[in-house]
Amino acid sequence: MGINAKVIVICNRKFSPIDYITAIKNKYIHCENIEFNKIIPDNNDVSLIMGRSQMSLAYIDFHNYTTTQQTALKKLFCSKIISVYSENHPEIYPKAVRFFSPDHITDLCDHEVYPNGIGEHFEKTIYFDIHRTIKNKIQFEHLFLGTNEKYYATIQEIIDQYPNHGILTYNEKYIDAKNNNVFAPVDDLLGMFETYVYTKNTFDPAPRIFQECRYFGKNIIYQRDKSIVDGGSVYWDRQLKQPDIEPIVEKIEDLA
């Protein structure tokens, strides 16, 4: 689009820049314009956060960052922000805004997921043109996503029904060693399984794995309460499409 954009990564304390670079190169056909931890934005720069939680989580975890990372976060969030609406932290987000005190915030929102959200309509859509093709080396029939304690507890309730499984998770205290736990990060995850089993019973804003499974021809089992209305139910019905980033471009031009 001719916009001089950068991806800014403030590293989780458990991972180094090389971990992020490796993961990106394994998934995408190029790895460019990425900066880590130390960043000095121009006064006219705009920071795009693809969910309000990027600001609220930075606020919650601020004390766990290095001084250099804290400085970078303050600079990234102090000027002009394009914020994609989410309701993950309804009480924390306003506190994060007061803490970082940005000059201006403009909102985008997927109104199918958030009927009461604010901002111009915008849908998170994967740009598959830059994805590497997967290598199908099937290791198990069913994949589960258990990357936090709540997700994992839901899986535990039904895992006996799926003996040939893998659970994508982290090596944390909440895991059950009897299960086939697959610890993130994983190379070529989409090539490891045949069917993804969707079990999340907490609010899910935008399950990208639905889009990935459809694109790469993987099966999906919707193993959750179908009365839940969120990104899970919306993306279950939503078909693959090319990304429309015009709302982002328009907001950048408005903030110039």
SS3 readout for 182-223: EECCCCCHHHCEEEEEECCCCCCCCCHHHHHHHHCCCEEEEC
Q: Is residue 90 part of a domain?
A: yes
Query: What are the per-10-residue average pLDDT scores of the chain (256 residues)?
Result: 90 92 92 91 90 95 95 94 92 96 96 94 95 94 96 96 97 96 91 96 87 95 91 92 95 91
Strand runs labelled E in the chain: 7-9, 34-36, 46-49, 80-84, 104-109, 120-121, 140-145, 165-169, 181-183, 193-198, 219-222
My answer on whether 17 and 103 are in the same domain is: yes
Residues 30 and 118 in one domain: yes
Same domain for 97 and 13, yes or no, is yes
Helix, coil or strand: residue 93: helix
Q: What angle do CA 7, 13, 19 make, to 5 degrees?
A: 55
103 and 83 co-located in one domain = yes
For residue 51, being part of any structural domain is answered with: yes
In a shared domain, residues 59 and 149: no
What pTM value is reported for the model? 0.87
Position 39 scores a pLDDT of 85
pLDDT for 44 equals: 84
Residue 154 lies in a domain: yes
The whole domain housing 165 covers: 132-237
The count of structural domains within the chain is: 2
Check whether residue 145 and residue 177 sit in a common domain: yes
Residues 116 and 23 occupy one common structural domain: yes
Residue 76 within a domain: yes
